[in-house]
């Protein structure tokens, strides 16, 4: 999957330490921090690599090929909870911002 970029809601600071705290809170796993990027593995995500570039959250994921249905659902729920807690935007707001960015580029 290509690297995805997410905006931060006003008032949500793009700080690596805050990203690390949100990751450990949402996934229950302490992420490794290397070169300003947080990395972890959980459930249906073989590798999750999160960092900040400029004022955007960058997320790169590698999925496990054969997760169970329960494992996949739990991982998706936790991932969405993480994105909302770190960016301040729910899934609908993130989708709308991505659509807006896509139409700007066209």
What is the rounded average pLDDT of the residues 44-72? 95
> Can you list the domains of the chain with their CATH numbers?
4-105 (3.30.310.190)
Convert the pLDDT of each residue in 6-21 to its tens digit.
Answer: 999 999 999 999 999 9
Q: Percent of the chain, pLDDT > 70?
A: 98
Q: Return the closest-CA partner of residue 86 out of 45, 38, 32, 44.
A: 38
Residue 46 DSSP SS3: strand
Global pTM reads 0.91
pLDDT of residue 81: 97
Residues in CB range of 38: below 8 A, 6 or more apart? 16, 19, 20, 23, 31, 32, 49, 50, 51
């Amino acid at each position: 999957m290509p690297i995805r970029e997410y905006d931060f809601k006003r008032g949500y600071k793009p700080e690596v330490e805050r990203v690390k705290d949100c990751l450990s809170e949402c996934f229950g796993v302490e992420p490794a921090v290397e070169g300003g990027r947080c990395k972890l593995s959980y459930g249906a995500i073989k590798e999750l690599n999160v960092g900040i570039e400029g004022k955007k959250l960058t997320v790169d994921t590698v999925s496990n090929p054969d997760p169970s249905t329960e494992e996949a659902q739990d991982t998706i729920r936790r991932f969405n909870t993480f994105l909302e807690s770190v960016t301040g935007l729910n899934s609908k707001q993130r989708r709308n911002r991505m659509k807006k960015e896509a139409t700007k580029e066209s």
